[in-house]
Chains A and B, each alone.
Chain A
Amino acid sequence: MFAFIISRILQSVPVLLVVALISFAMFAYVGDPVSIMLGQDFTEAQRTALVADLGLDQPFFIQFAKFVGNAVQGEFGLSYRLSRPVAELIAERAPATLELACCAAGVALLVGVPMGVYTGLYPRSLLSRAFLTFSLIGVSLPTFLIGILLILVFAVWLGWLPSFGRGDTVMFGWWSTGFATMSGIKALILPAITLGLFQLTLIMRLVRSEMMEVLRADYIKFARARGLSNRAINFGHALKNTMVPVITVVGLQLGAIIAFAIVTETVFQWPGMGLLFIQSVGSADIPVMAAYLLLIACLFVTINLIVDLLYYAVDPRLRVSRGRGH
């Protein structure tokens, strides 16, 4: 077990290095931060001084090596755009994104799994068909459109929920939370639905197909023959066995939710990391972009690791086969 974790962590190092290299190489094309920082009026001398200041006149690999060296120490420098330490900026924005992502994942799981179970058990019922039609909407509409539609209906027409922002937040240490106030919770609803809708339909469809598959299996028939209650069969035997692929997908999707909250955060002006990233792209703020991409890569690596460990917990066969293999 321990050896497994260590080997997975070692495997992730080259992955992170490659991500860093690719993102760093990409930055050559996002524009010139210098021209943005200098504004409308400057002399050639000011320009060269700034380029030298930022170290942009050095060869690519020296810049890259410096960047990696600093990143290992958690030092990402100062944002070109905001003149503030990058690590601080990201730490400030992370709670907003994480709260939003967790709510979205919660919505997706708590609604998606029961809907999937229901449609799997009663595939022909009217409600199941309604669910499936609804899920088509979730899959086919792009996120920004869903967000704008929700804003139009719930903020502009009905006036129930705010159209942007996080509402009032409360600080717990360095963590700013929107859960502590009514306006914070109200502000969470629309973005969480927008962000979670795609995952919700994905989970629902996955659970549905897995349920239908499992319900045809011999051991279910055997269980019915034993006279077990429907409840015990459906939830005790069938659902539990559908969970392995669901955990994989949910785990990976959690990473995706955090990484791709960018669109939702932009639509709702949600002050999270995704919005920070988009704003940084607009002004070629390389330190922030690099740190964000690395962070997201770390996140995916970590989530993958956790998912692998969860398999162990859920599926006893894996434990056995691993044991033999080593």
Chain B
Amino acid sequence: MRQWIAVALLATLLGSQVASARTVRWAASGDPNTLDPHSQNVGTVAMVLQQIYDTLITRTETLGLAPGLALTWEQAEPNRWRLTLREGVRFHEGEAFTSDDVVFSLTRALAPTSNFGIYVDTIESVREAGPLAVDIITKTPDPILPNKLASVFMMSRSWSERNNAPRPQNTRTREEMFTVRNTNGTGAFRMTVREPDVRTVMARNDAWWGWREATSANANVTEIIFRPIGSDPTRVAALLSGEVDFVLDPPLQDLARLRAAPGIRVLEGPEVRTIFLAFDTFRDELLYSDVRGRNPFRDLRVRHALYHAIDIAAINRTTMRGQSVPTGTLFPPQVNGYVQAEDIRLPLDAARARTLLTEAGYPQGFGITLDCPNNRYINDEQICQAIVAMWARIGVRTQLNSMPLAPYFAKIQRDDTSAYMLGWGVPTLDALYSFQSLVATRNGAQGDGIWNYGRYSNPAMDALIQRMKVESGAARLATIAEALRVVRTDVPVIPLHHQMIPWAMRSNIAIPHMANNQPYFRWARVE
């Protein structure tokens, strides 16, 4: 009898332990390719790493800046930022976090094999200014350095060097680097199991400094099990059958069904990603067109005509099923520098479009090819199909060439295109990133025009971009507003919409929706 009581007691004890373990089983279509913090700058890697690693400056729920491993930051001199670090922080394996680790991590992000150059490109050097203070010397005054630092993870120098990983993965080496499958951060969760493409398990790090912050006061997740499920219907089925609790990227066509399913909630919100069309405005004759001897896209009237022909409300309603925010500008409101007055589309007006084409010398329209990815953005191919039909109405005969993302990007990066679709996310949440990459003249410098495959070039725009790089405060905001005005009137690209990103989860999970498409389980609560 006594034995039975003991067994029963043990069972209750175990039962209560199971109940207090708050596990979130999380699925998304892709697995992180690597866990090296500075090797690949893509969302699928960051979404797991940011649970494990901290940054000096972190993001708030509204994507503002908040103290992370650094408590304060100030531009002490135009070319020098001074950061003071949080005291008493330890890495998961026990090493104390010091200014030396900051020097190491930023230097590592600067290495040629790093994929994070964009976040540290202005840094000349990093110096310790005491055990808990760091000076960052920049090549030119960099007003948005804190925004960039919010994307650079901090590693331990001793751990990295001990494990022979002082630099991000180099393709020339034949061996796998330790950091590809192992982590040691200071973050809210520490990784306990890593089976690439199968599952990644993270356990709550009770010693994390942030549990004391107000934002995490209600957080209670003790374990995250991340499992990639590539096939759309399977991912939805796994959520419906209760095998996963949280799906980061439910397919659009299943949203209505998920909303109606009992015990499942769909959380909707905007993403910081803008979909647009761009054109070859460089060549004297287009590669893919039936117009000989001249380039119609160099004529502003033609770009305006194509813009006028697009029925964005129809795309929003039917193609996107309401899951988009139509826009007339280059980036969404979350990005620093956004101006409401410049976010105005040219109205849908097919008659005006035909008049403009006639004025430009194309009364019968012309033929072009539109290049389009078919697995990169939400409903990318369908959007292009809709636009092809809309342009046909004003006499622009468009051939659609849609391709999977790998050959698609290879093609447009050779400038082998006349018109193409692109979606642009802004991880720094600052306007410069968009202007610099998309509409600056390509000049070989880091970042300038590297995604400007139509080779749009406008000296006035270039001058504004160079000013954006060094100005600060109100002057800089005025410069950005001016550049947005140029974008609206000169139409280097035809903006379509900002993507919406729905998340689907079981109703017992509460987590803030983030416009950077990153779930922060440190703020999540499971009932």
Q: Is A271 an interface residue (CB 8 A)?
A: yes
Q: Is B196 an interface residue (CB 8 A)?
A: yes
For A267, what are the chain B residues with a Cβ–Cβ distance below 8 Å?
231, 233-234
CA distance A155 to B175 in the complex (A): 41
Q: How does the 8 Å CB contact mask read for B451-468 relative to A, with 1 for contact and 0 for none? A: 100000000000000000
CA distance A283 to B42 in the complex (A): 13
For B230, what are the chain A residues with a Cβ–Cβ distance below 8 Å?
266, 269, 275, 278-279
Q: Is A276 an interface residue (CB 8 A)?
A: yes
Task: Give chain A nearest CB distance to B349 CB in angstroms.
Answer: 35
Q: Is A95 an interface residue (CB 8 A)?
A: no
Task: Give chain A nearest CB distance to B173 CB in angstroms.
Answer: 7
For A31, what are the chain B residues with a Cβ–Cβ distance below 8 Å?
404-410
Chain A, range 71-89, C-beta contacts under 8 Å to B: 75, 77-78, 80-85, 88
- Name the one of A36, A82, A155 contacting B196, with C-beta atoms under 8 angstroms: A82
For A33, what are the chain B residues with a Cβ–Cβ distance below 8 Å?
406
Q: Say whether B176 contacts A155, CB under 8 Å.
A: no
Q: Which of B65-73, B110-118, B380-388, B476-484 is found at the contact surface with chain A?
A: B110-118
Q: Say whether A30 contacts B173, CB under 8 Å.
A: no
Chain B, range 234-258, C-beta contacts under 8 Å to A: 234-235, 237-238, 240-243
Known: A40-B118, A165-B227, A166-B198. A155 touches B237 (CB 8 A): yes
Q: Say whether A32 contacts B410, CB under 8 Å.
A: yes
- Name the one of A77, A156, A283 contacting B237, with C-beta atoms under 8 angstroms: A156
Q: Is A303 an interface residue (CB 8 A)?
A: no
Q: Say whether A32 contacts B413, CB under 8 Å.
A: yes
For A266, what are the chain B residues with a Cβ–Cβ distance below 8 Å?
230-231
Q: Say whether B171 contacts A35, CB under 8 Å.
A: no
Q: Say whether A163 contacts B33, CB under 8 Å.
A: no
Task: Give chain A nearest CB distance to B482 CB in angstroms.
Answer: 25
Most chain A beta-carbon contacts within 10 A, residue among B33, B231, B450: B231
CA distance A78 to B172 in the complex (A): 9
CA distance A78 to B237 in the complex (A): 34
Q: Is A24 an interface residue (CB 8 A)?
A: no
Residue of B nearest to A81 (CB): B33
- Name the one of B41, B173, B241, B437 contacting A78, with C-beta atoms under 8 angstroms: B173
CA distance A41 to B240 in the complex (A): 38
CA distance A307 to B176 in the complex (A): 39
CA distance A271 to B517 in the complex (A): 26
Q: How does the 8 Å CB contact mask read for A1-41 relative to B, with 1 for contact and 0 for none? A: 00000000000000000000000000001111101111111
CA distance A82 to B198 in the complex (A): 14
Q: Say whether B240 contacts A271, CB under 8 Å.
A: no
- Name the one of B34, B42, B173, B243 contacting A155, with C-beta atoms under 8 angstroms: B243
Q: How does the 8 Å CB contact mask read for A35-67 relative to B, with 1 for contact and 0 for none? A: 111111111101001100110000000000000
Q: Say whether B176 contacts A84, CB under 8 Å.
A: yes
Q: Say whether A82 contacts B180, CB under 8 Å.
A: yes
Q: Is B333 an interface residue (CB 8 A)?
A: no
Residue of B nearest to A44 (CB): B444
Q: How does the 8 Å CB contact mask read for B155-193 relative to A, with 1 for contact and 0 for none? A: 000000000000001111111110011000000000000
Q: Is B447 an interface residue (CB 8 A)?
A: yes
Q: Is B87 an interface residue (CB 8 A)?
A: no
Q: Is B197 an interface residue (CB 8 A)?
A: yes
Q: Is A300 an interface residue (CB 8 A)?
A: no
Residue of B nearest to A89 (CB): B196
Q: Say whether A155 contacts B169, CB under 8 Å.
A: no
CA distance A159 to B410 in the complex (A): 44
Q: Say whether A159 contacts B227, CB under 8 Å.
A: no
Q: Is A220 an interface residue (CB 8 A)?
A: no
Q: Is B229 an interface residue (CB 8 A)?
A: yes
For A142, what are the chain B residues with a Cβ–Cβ distance below 8 Å?
none
Known: A151-B237, A155-B243. A82 touches B410 (CB 8 A): no
Known: A46-B112, A155-B237, A275-B230. A163 touches B410 (CB 8 A): no
CA distance A159 to B405 in the complex (A): 36
Q: Say whether B410 contacts A35, CB under 8 Å.
A: yes
Chain B interface category by residue count = 35 or more
Q: How does the 8 Å CB contact mask read for B104-147 relative to A, with 1 for contact and 0 for none? A: 00000000100101100000000000000000000000000000
Task: Give chain A nearest CB distance to B269 CB in angstroms.
Answer: 22
Task: Give chain A nearest CB distance to B106 CB in angstroms.
Answer: 16
Task: Give chain A nearest CB distance to B332 CB in angstroms.
Answer: 17
Q: Is A189 an interface residue (CB 8 A)?
A: no
Q: Say whether B233 contacts A276, CB under 8 Å.
A: no
Chain B, range 264-316, C-beta contacts under 8 Å to A: none
Q: Say whether B33 contacts A276, CB under 8 Å.
A: no
Q: Say whether A164 contacts B115, CB under 8 Å.
A: no
CA distance A81 to B45 in the complex (A): 12
CA distance A78 to B170 in the complex (A): 10
Q: Is B228 an interface residue (CB 8 A)?
A: yes
Q: Say whether A40 contacts B176, CB under 8 Å.
A: no
CA distance A166 to B197 in the complex (A): 12
Q: Is B39 an interface residue (CB 8 A)?
A: yes
Q: Is A152 an interface residue (CB 8 A)?
A: yes
Q: Say whether A269 contacts B231, CB under 8 Å.
A: yes
For A152, what are the chain B residues with a Cβ–Cβ distance below 8 Å?
237
For B169, what are the chain A residues with a Cβ–Cβ distance below 8 Å?
83
CA distance A267 to B227 in the complex (A): 14
Residue of B nearest to A276 (CB): B197
- Name the one of A151, A155, A165 contacting B198, with C-beta atoms under 8 angstroms: A165
For A36, what are the chain B residues with a Cβ–Cβ distance below 8 Å?
406, 409
Q: Is A284 an interface residue (CB 8 A)?
A: yes
Q: How does the 8 Å CB contact mask read for A267-281 relative to B, with 1 for contact and 0 for none? A: 111010001101101
Q: Is A282 an interface residue (CB 8 A)?
A: yes
CA distance A148 to B235 in the complex (A): 11
Q: Is A162 an interface residue (CB 8 A)?
A: yes
Q: Is B340 an interface residue (CB 8 A)?
A: no
- Name the one of A37, A42, A49, A151 contacting B233, with C-beta atoms under 8 angstroms: A151
For B408, what are the chain A residues with a Cβ–Cβ distance below 8 Å?
31
For A37, what are the chain B residues with a Cβ–Cβ distance below 8 Å?
171
Task: Give chain B nearest CB distance to A74 CB in angstroms.
Answer: 13
CA distance A87 to B42 in the complex (A): 26
For B62, what are the chain A residues with a Cβ–Cβ distance below 8 Å?
none
Task: Give chain B nearest CB distance to A284 CB in angstroms.
Answer: 4
Task: Give chain A nearest CB distance to B194 CB in angstroms.
Answer: 12
For B240, what are the chain A residues with a Cβ–Cβ distance below 8 Å?
156
Most chain A beta-carbon contacts within 10 A, residue among B33, B40, B227, B243: B33
Task: Give chain A nearest CB distance to B291 CB in angstroms.
Answer: 28
Q: Is B446 an interface residue (CB 8 A)?
A: yes
Known: A42-B450, A156-B241. A80 touches B410 (CB 8 A): no
For A29, what are the chain B residues with a Cβ–Cβ distance below 8 Å?
407
A/B interface sample: 8 pairs, CB < 8 A:
A35-B409, A41-B117, A46-B117, A81-B33, A85-B176, A155-B241, A165-B229, A267-B234
Going nearest first, the 10 A-B pairs with the smallest beta carbon separation are: A31-B406, A32-B410, A41-B118, A31-B407, A284-B406, A155-B241, A163-B237, A83-B169, A269-B229, A84-B176
Interface residues of B (CB under 8 A from A): 33-34, 36, 39-42, 112, 115, 117-118, 169-177, 180-181, 195-199, 227-231, 233-235, 237-238, 240-243, 375, 404-410, 413, 437, 444-447, 450-451
Extra inter-chain contacts (8) besides given A83-B34, A268-B231, A282-B375, CB under 8 Å: A31-B408, A35-B409, A78-B174, A83-B180, A151-B237, A155-B237, A159-B241, A164-B229
